[in-house]
Amino acid sequence: MLDKEFEQAAKDSEEILRKVDLESNYRKLTGLVGKIVAALAITFSLFQLYTAGFGLLDASIQRAIHLGFALCLVFLLYPARKSWSRARIHPLDLLLAVMGAAVPMYVVAFYQSLVLRAGQVTTVDFIVGLLGIVLILEAARRVVGLPMVTIAFCFLIYALVGRYIPGSLAHRGVDLPTLVQHQFFTTEGIFGIPIGVSASFIFLFILFGAFLEKTGLGGLFIDLSNALAGWAAGGPAKVAVISSALEGTVSGSSVANTAGSGSFTIPMMKKLGYRPEFAGAVEATASTGGQIMPPIMGAAAFLMAEFIGVPYIRIVQAGVIPAILYYFGVWTQVHFEAKKQGLRGMSRDELPKLGRVMKEKGHLLVPLVAIIYLLVEGFTPMKAALYAIILAIFSCMLRKNTRISFMDIVNCLETGARSALGVVAATACAGVIVGVVTQTGLGLKLGSVLVDLAHGQLFFTLIFTMITSLILGMGVPTTANYVITSTIAAPALILLGVPVISAHMFTFYFGIIADITPPVALAAFVGAGIAKANPFKTGIEATKLAIAAFLVPYIFVYSPEMLMVDVTFWGIIGICITAMIGMIGVGAGVSGYFLTNMTKIERVLIFVGGVCLVTPGHMTDLIGAVLVAAVIIIQKKRAGQNKGQVAV
């Protein structure tokens, strides 16, 4: 019976993913046309592997070729209209695909001439550059969505009409040829840092994820999670938390992660007795947290490293404690909900044995361990990803049950390229936004406006920044959301003395949890669809489960020690211990249950105590410990009385 539920859930998740996630709704081409498109995608991956192994080309050339491949494939795989056939390519899309490949190649073909006449735009340059901007916006509309294109278009209009805007946002104005030149023929706009990061190592990490998925690592994660937690109270929900956290190390999409692992975990949670809304919310929340889970924290984390000029491993270090608190917070609420409803785990006889799982598939973890080691040792993310891909291929060959064929490797090259199209389109479109900001000085202007609006108060500036990030995150990919908020809101926080890494991590976090924050919570909606639950109620449940993601960013702004800034080893250990105890208090306060049901006063006290313990500092830890201990004593006393009453 449960097998049928899994099968139906898998079908539902695929259908929902096509509706919610534009990247998943691509053409399924067959025959000669399908082979040609597949060959283009494979060539794209091989180009990226070649330059990773033998050295990147000049920045403009590398990025132009990268963009040319992506634009061509986007127009071939994603139709202009929903009503167009998914089985064949429309003539207009074919024309746009040719133009999408040709326009960026203009930069490659005439690179020397463009360098020599830097700042001067010929008529042909202007036409090609303007066409390139239009093609990028159209590609982003198809694969990323209209909200991002609308934002980029508004920035372009601002650049052109800025001289007519009254007040502090006014600028001297930019004419159309100068705007096109800055956007398309410099490394300050479309070919700037966002697409530069995509062209160097984001693509390789996506390709790495494709190989790991093909080797069966996702199945290993689920088996490990079942072996570790399937027997505990509310076992399937805890399995969802662990498996999604593990899958988050190789997946950059909260929506796709929810659909993939949710088709297995959500039916299990419902079978155990969890409410449909809660089951969908657990999977959505756990999957969304994958983007903040080291060592691979999604494309936006790579951009952050480039924007603030630190090694990527520093971003990973900063993300460790917040990620632990996020998942531990979800885990505690799942546990309290299970205790509250009297839900038990699965029988140990139904679950895989840890030793056997590690013996049969443990070698699949080698590339994941290797990539962490390489990053810690100081290898560039590009080289670390390249070596990890090679290790992924060789490690799966160690046992017959995990071995992949040559055609599987070829398919991974195709899948990786297709999976990267959304990121390339998003980063190119984000480059348009960055280009306007650098050309007009809009970032500092908006930062100043934000500070003035908050009357120079850090707390209110954080509130405004959070709201901005959540609104922009509604339907906008995390990568684009981070680019926008980091150029607009992060400078405002830095002006008020917030450390650079804390300011950027703050905007990064709230851009991510927009996926589970109503009214537009795409990951929660996918979870709700699989669980057959109310989408809005599922979003509310997901927001409650992700309480750590709403609290922790404020805490690490005021206490950067949580991001491992100016802290000792023993200081880190102390922060982790007190913060995890604090998350138990926060989880109990939100769920309304600890040892037994809690009164409103108890919920408030233990919640406040939990927040105090999460916040680094001796005084806050002392206050938090007293409050949490007081509630625990009251709870123990009431739990004993309840047992006595039952006995009587």
- Give 221-277 pLDDT, tens digit per residue: 777 777 777 777 667 777 777 777 777 666 556 777 787 777 777 887 887 778 888
pLDDT at residue 12 above 70? no
SS3 (DSSP) at 593: strand
> Which stretch of 12-21, 85-94, 178-187 has the lowest confidence by average pLDDT?
12-21
Alpha carbons 154 and 97: distance in angstroms, whole number: 26
Residues 6+ away with beta carbon under 8 Å from 384: 371, 374, 375
User: Could you give the dihedral angle defined by the CA atoms of residues 302, 303, 304 and 308, in that order, rounded to the nearest 10 degrees?
Assistant: 120
pLDDT at residue 21 above 70? no
Tokens of 392: 């992924």
71 pLDDT band, cuts 50/70/90, is very high
104 pLDDT band, cuts 50/70/90, is very high
The per-residue pLDDT for 19 is 67
Q: Is residue 615 left, alpha or beta, with left meaning phi > 0 and alpha meaning psi from -120 to 50?
A: beta
**Higher pLDDT among residues 369 and 3, named by residue:** 369
The per-residue pLDDT for 386 is 93
- List the one residue out of 473, 421, 418, 427 whose CA is nearest residue 142: 421
The per-residue pLDDT for 225 is 76
Q: What share of the chain is helix, strand, coil (3-state, %, to 5)?
A: 80, 0, 20
161-197 in b/e burial notation, b at 16+ Cβ within 10 A?
ebeeeeeeeebeebeebebbbbbbbbebbbbbbbbbb
Is the separation of the CB atoms in 141 and 433 below 8 Å? no
**Higher pLDDT among residues 229 and 636, named by residue:** 636
Is the separation of the CB atoms in 288 and 518 below 8 Å? no
> What would you report as the CA-atom Rg of the chain, rounded to the nearest whole angstrom?
25
418 pLDDT band, cuts 50/70/90, is very high
Q: What is the mean pLDDT of residues 530-541?
A: 86
In this structure, how many other beta carbons lie within 10 angstroms of the beta carbon of residue 638? 17
Give the burial class of 214: count Cβ atoms within 10 A of its Cβ; 0-12 exposed, 13-18 middle, 19 or more buried. buried
What residue ranges in 446-585 does DSSP mark as E strands?
none
Q: Which residue has the tokens 């491949």?
A: 69
pLDDT at residue 430 above 70? yes
108 pLDDT band, cuts 50/70/90, is very high
Across the chain, what does the average pLDDT equal? 85
**Tens-place pLDDT, residues 312-365:** 889 988 988 888 888 888 888 888 888 887 777 667 777 778 888 888 888 888
Alpha carbons 220 and 402: distance in angstroms, whole number: 11
Max mean pLDDT range (160-169, 460-469, 600-609): 600-609
Q: Give how far Cα 598 sits from Cα of 63, 96, 606, Å.
A: 57, 62, 10
pLDDT at residue 6 above 70? no
The per-residue pLDDT for 478 is 73
Alpha carbons 292 and 284: distance in angstroms, whole number: 14
In the DSSP assignment, the letter for residue 347 is -
**Higher pLDDT among residues 264 and 115, named by residue:** 115
Tokens of 116: 């020599």
The per-residue pLDDT for 130 is 96
pLDDT at residue 531 above 70? yes
Q: How many residues does the chain have?
A: 648
pTM of the model: 0.84
Alpha carbons 461 and 394: distance in angstroms, whole number: 50
Q: Give how far Cα 457 sits from Cα of 194, 452, 470, 492, Å.
A: 31, 9, 20, 11
pLDDT at residue 27 above 90? no
- List the one residue out of 84, 90, 83, 131 whose CA is nearest residue 107: 131
pLDDT at residue 380 above 80? yes
Q: What is the DSSP string of 236-271?
A: HHHHHHHHHHHHTTT---HHHHHHHHHHHHHHHHHH
pLDDT at residue 645 above 60? no
In this structure, how many other beta carbons lie within 10 angstroms of the beta carbon of residue 87? 11
Residues 6+ away with beta carbon under 8 Å from 470: 510, 513, 514, 517
Tokens of 631: 């509630």
**Higher pLDDT among residues 566 and 395, named by residue:** 395
534 pLDDT band, cuts 50/70/90, is confident
Max mean pLDDT range (23-27, 42-46, 198-202, 436-440): 42-46
Domain boundaries, the chain: 20-189, 569-648
